[in-house]
Structure 1
Amino acid sequence: MLGIVIPVHNEEAWLTSCLQAVIQAAASPKLHREIVHTLVVLDSCTDGSACIAASFGIQTLQVQARNVGIARATGAQHCLDMGARWLAFTDADTRVSPDWLAEQLDQDSDAVCGTVTVNDWSGHAPQLALRFKASYNDAHGHRHVHGANLGVSAQAYRDAGGFPPLACSEDVALVQALQARGASIAWSAAPRVVTSARKNFRAAGGFGATLLHGFPEAGLANEGAACA
């Protein structure tokens, strides 16, 4: 079984399109009908996110942590307890491609770090999109880490100790732990996702915050740089 974990904190504006894309990816013919379990972890939600997930028949768990590291770890552990051999992670403001999950598995690695694309820069100065395009390495061999596009085998995840309880950069910490244990990591641009450049971001040091507060001309090493 394959597990997909989506942490959610008041994401009713984005969640429908996210889940539609995830459901399509879970039905990819390239997965050869392997069972895929999608889990939405509702973290301190006070909006209609739970109802949206229920309308798609997707299981939810509730936590009151206001901490994305705890939310991802809770979801991951639930999928592991169900027997998942692979864990895939994305975010509620992200739309994965139809073959996103299959492309992660095709990398034949312990973990896969994928890239992100932004197709709506509304509300930002025009030069931000230009700077992002010029400095972000959307290609194989990149060194970006995004919780919106991350996959890891169950064994490697356990060996690395899982996500730490961090309010941001939990994805970076997990990848660093995987590297420290000699896990094979595919830095791949094959698993595609489109994410938002929203200003009302949820994580203080996440991708949205990095865009808003600027990023180095040499590129974004990871989306949690602002709170490293």
Structure 2
Amino acid sequence: MSPGGWSVGVVVPARNETATIEACLASILAAPLPAGSDLWIVVVADGCDDDTAGRARRALGARGEVVVVATGNVGAARRVGARRALDHLDQTQGRPPERTWLLTTDADSTVPGAWIEAHLGHADAGAEGVAGTVAVASFSEHPTSVPDRFAAEYVLHPDGTHPHVHGANLGARADAYVAVGGWAPLRTGEDHDLWNRLRAGGAALVTTIEAPVTTSGRRTGRAPSGFAARLLELAPAPVAVEAPDLVGSWRAATTSTPSSHRETSTSRPSAAAPPPSGGPRSPPSLAVTSPWGGSPKPTPARARSWRRRADRRPLARPWACGRRSTPPTWCAPNAPDTASGSPGPRASAPVPASSTPPS
């Protein structure tokens, strides 16, 4: 370590983090500092409508400050916090930017005890930017397959390096940070943007698996397309289940006929032979081919209907029943026989004109 020590500024953006901000700040304050180094923490309460700012002030005491903004932009919030931290360290410590280290983490995260020392160890070795890793505190809000998929995707190289960049575990030397313009006001991806500009500016960058930061595995994050959104992408896609076509199945079942129930013949039964002359007339054959197969069977209901029709007799003429006083002129058979003086074959006794027809 350099005998002059380091000025260390830690920036924590927060939005409605009353449940986690105290644990986050407690872990930072508990991390030991190298001898001769100083620490200043800046919490940027961005658009909070809860007691995040109040809890942060009580937790920090005299070792930090809370800045209240309403940007709704994590990149802009980190930029405000970095500016306040640099100003405070410059005014109170007076160290040059080459001996000032800016760290950043998230309000839903906790840092390990060796976090600050691990970053400053690389800074003493000449690093101008350090990107660390994260570990998920809990996957309880995700499907059971997500932890394995996260472990398989989260690549860590055998030499202790990795390809990841997280705003929850990122540090840069003050002069390199200022040289590339600092944090950009991006709603998401601000950490990758700063890292890429440091690389493009020729800064000495280090990725390390030392001192990983533990972050929440919540499903709803504060930055769109941030770490929480990435965890959601690891969940298996829901399987589309097509609803059964109940109406179509019902129609098919009611309109189709199994092969065993189809008629074996479509020919109609032949008419019965006429009876001998003078013999009794019998009803025609009413046997039909059974739709269920087998030999033809009679149809009793149809036979009874035929008998009813055969037994019908002509109804008496209405004028023969007393409903009319005289038959119509066109009905000659019911007129009186003038030759014999007798009534016609179906005529009954004449009904007086004054009589009332029966009801």
Normalised by the length of structure 1, the TM-score is: 0.89
Match of 2:144 in 1: 126
Match of 1:88 in 2: 103
Q: State the Cα distance separating 1:182 from its structure 2 match.
A: 0.6
**Is contact 1:116-1:138 (8 Å) kept?**
no
Q: State the Cα distance separating 1:123 from its structure 2 match.
A: 1.4
**Is contact 1:115-1:138 (8 Å) kept?**
no
Match of 1:159 in 2: 179
Q: Secondary structure at the match of 1:4?
A: strand
**Is contact 2:176-2:198 (8 Å) kept?**
yes
Q: 1:138 to 1:117 in 2, by over 3 A?
A: farther
Give distance in 2, aligned partners of 1:169 and 1:46. 24
Superposition pairs of residues 1-228 of structure 1, within 5 angstroms: 1-25=7-31, 28=32, 30-56=33-59, 57=61, 58-82=64-88, 83=90, 85-108=100-123, 109-139=127-157, 140-214=160-234
Match of 1:218 in 2: none
Give distance in 2, aligned partners of 1:172 and 1:183. 14
Write out the 4+ residue segments of structure 1 that deviate beyond 3 Å after TM superposition: none
Q: State the Cα distance separating 1:96 from its structure 2 match.
A: 0.2
Structure with the greater alpha carbon radius of gyration: 2
What amino acid is aligned across from residue 134 of structure 2 in structure 1? V
Match of 2:352 in 1: none
Which runs of 5 or more structure 1 residues have no equivalent in the other structure?
A: 216-228
Q: State the Cα distance separating 1:33 from its structure 2 match.
A: 4.4
Q: Secondary structure at the match of 1:31?
A: coil
Pairwise CA RMSD: 1.3
What amino acid is aligned across from residue 22 of structure 2 in structure 1? T
Q: State the Cα distance separating 1:11 from its structure 2 match.
A: 0.6
Q: Secondary structure at the match of 2:145?
A: helix
Give distance in 2, aligned partners of 1:31 and 1:137. 31
Give distance in 2, aligned partners of 1:196 and 1:93. 6
What amino acid is aligned across from residue 51 of structure 1 in structure 2? G
What amino acid is aligned across from residue 188 of structure 2 in structure 1? C
1:12-52 alpha-carbon deviations (Å, 9 max, x no partner): 11111111101111xx1x51141100110010111110111
1:191-212 alpha-carbon deviations (Å, 9 max, x no partner): 3210011012111111111111
Which region of structure 1 is more displaced relative to structure 2, 117-126 or 86-95?
117-126
Match of 2:3 in 1: none
Q: State the Cα distance separating 1:80 from its structure 2 match.
A: 1.4
Q: State the Cα distance separating 1:213 from its structure 2 match.
A: 2.1
Match of 2:296 in 1: none
Q: Secondary structure at the match of 1:92?
A: coil
Which runs of 5 or more structure 2 residues have no equivalent in the other structure?
A: 1-6, 91-96, 236-359
Normalised by the length of structure 2, the TM-score is: 0.57
Which region of structure 1 is more displaced relative to structure 2, 54-63 or 165-174?
54-63
What amino acid is aligned across from residue 163 of structure 1 in structure 2? W
Match of 2:279 in 1: none
Give distance in 2, aligned partners of 1:75 and 1:31. 23
> How many residues are paired up?
212
